[in-house]
Amino acid sequence: MTAKVITRYPPSPTGFVHIGSVRTALFNHLFAAHNGGEMVLRFEDTDKERSKREYEDDILAGLAWLGLPYSMPAVARQSERTAVYQKHIPKLIEVGAAYEAEAGKDNPDKKVVRFKNPNVKITFQDAVRGEVTFDTTELGDFVIARNIDEPLYHLAVVIDDHEMGVTHVIRGEDHISNTPRQILMLEALGFERPQYAHIPLILAPDKTKLSKRHGAVSVNEYKAQGFIPEAVLNYLALLGWNPGGEQELFTLDELAKLFTLDRVHKAGAVFGLEKLKWFNHEHLKKLSDAEYAARLKAFSDKGIDPRLIPLLKERAQTLVEAVLMLETEFDFFGDPSYEPALLLQKGKILPEVASNHLKALTDLLEHVPHEGFLAAQLKDIIWPYATAQGRGEVLWPLRVALSGKEKSPDPFAIMGLLGKEETRKRIAQALQNL
């Protein structure tokens, strides 16, 4: 019987939870879910100065928003796991794998714990990078604990991974050089070696390390910008992994079904905001109208006319963009008063030309029954006329007459929404204005 797969997500709460960290959590979740296992979360807060509770909260909020499941040990902060570490450090000394030594000239009374380096080459099989070998000689007898109770970071990681039953360590490539020293320690402790997988880093479009100026802000910032979790998860999954084939849009469950480590890439993955927006738009389009409206509510407390949802879905890449459209271009149900010059595209169209077209359109629309007053049908009726007469000179005055705005959805969509009576009224008003 093989052991249950346990992966881990051990963030250091020293900053807001950025995209790269979330991608690591996602890969750990996908691998665990694919294999019927689970992901454990712990906080690696050994850096006391920089670790903050607000960052822990940010990480948890990010995972909750994304809907990534995890379990947590009863004591999840390394800073509170002293009792666990106390069980193991003396053992290392007992078996002769470590020894206490003076901390240094400035601290003659303090004793640190040093690892007795056997000076060997360590080789491990990395699920992404293949066979990896490091010579550990240059590490010397490295310090592993501040004192007999307090491990330094690498020893805490090794003990925690063992205590939490971790079978697979999936983490960023920047940790690969830590692996040999962690293997030295876990072997001295008699622990089983987990399977390692070092995943490629996420890069900015200019191939440099992704940083704040590239948008590597907290994932919760993306939430505030109107991205939806389905899209963020989908896009992040494809940063450094690919299931093969043409399909790009996946749900979290579909990703978990497909995820294997042998398809993780070795090369760094470039993060592009435009691509993320594309994924967001595609996932927004997949929501039902009711669900779309519900998500919009988090961004706008104004009531939303349900007839606008299909238009928003078509045009807005983010929910924030949708709200902005509702407040500007899409705000055409009320009184459409405007500067009459706008009807003429600020002088580009002659008044007689605009008047003639609006009159002709009035006649065309007269024959359309109320039930047929729908965007697609209206377009079929008007398009040939506009094409023959010049689209700009026909459609611009019509659109302004209907919306009163310089920017708005196309006139067919607006007419469909306003209905025949209101459409007729607004065109008549425009003719008067001219």
Figure out which of the listed residues 18, 29, 81, 171 binds ligand GLU, where binding follows CB under 6 A: 171
Figure out which of the listed residues 10, 62, 180, 194 binds ligand GLU, where binding follows CB under 6 A: 10
Residue number, 158 or 414, with CB nearest to ligand GLU:
158
Residue number, 10 or 151, with CB nearest to ligand GLU:
10
The region of 5-13, 90-98, 105-113, 348-356 touching ligand GLU under the rule CB under 6 A is 5-13
Cite the active site residues: 212
Q: How far is the CB of 56 from ligand GLU (least distance, A)?
A: 12
Tokens of 170: 């999936």
Q: How far is the CB of 182 from ligand GLU (least distance, A)?
A: 8
The angle formed by the CA atoms of residues 13, 16 and 18, to the nearest 5 degrees, is 110
Residue number, 146 or 379, with CB nearest to ligand GLU:
146
Rounded Cα distance, 85 and 87, in Å: 5
The region of 7-15, 249-257, 323-331, 378-386 touching ligand GLU under the rule CB under 6 A is 7-15
Q: Is 44 in the site for ligand GLU (CB under 6 A)?
A: yes
Figure out which of the listed residues 114, 146, 175, 295 binds ligand GLU, where binding follows CB under 6 A: 175
The angle formed by the CA atoms of residues 119, 107 and 45, to the nearest 5 degrees, is 70
Find where tokens 């963009």 sit.
321
Q: Is 12 in the site for ligand GLU (CB under 6 A)?
A: yes
Tokens of 401: 């007459």
Residue number, 194 or 336, with CB nearest to ligand GLU:
194
Q: How many CB atoms lie within 10 A of CB 43?
A: 21
Q: Is 424 in the site for ligand GLU (CB under 6 A)?
A: no
Q: Tell me the C-alpha to C-alpha distance, in Å, between residue 121 and each of 183, 223, 308.
A: 11, 46, 65
Tokens of 149: 């109770």
Q: Name residue 409's amino acid.
A: P
Q: How far is the CB of 70 from ligand GLU (least distance, A)?
A: 14
Residues contacting residue 27 through CB under 8 Å, at least 6 positions apart: 170, 199, 237, 240, 241, 259, 264
The region of 8-16, 51-59, 369-377, 420-428 touching ligand GLU under the rule CB under 6 A is 8-16
The region of 9-17, 209-217, 237-245, 420-428 touching ligand GLU under the rule CB under 6 A is 9-17
Figure out which of the listed residues 6, 7, 11, 41 binds ligand GLU, where binding follows CB under 6 A: 11
In 3-state terms, what secondary structure has residue 6? strand
In 3-state terms, what secondary structure has residue 35? coil
Instruction: Say if CB 374 and CB 412 are below 8 A apart.
Output: no
Instruction: Say if CB 223 and CB 65 are below 8 A apart.
Output: yes
Q: Give residues in contact with ligand GLU (CB under 6 A).
A: 10-12, 44, 157, 171, 175
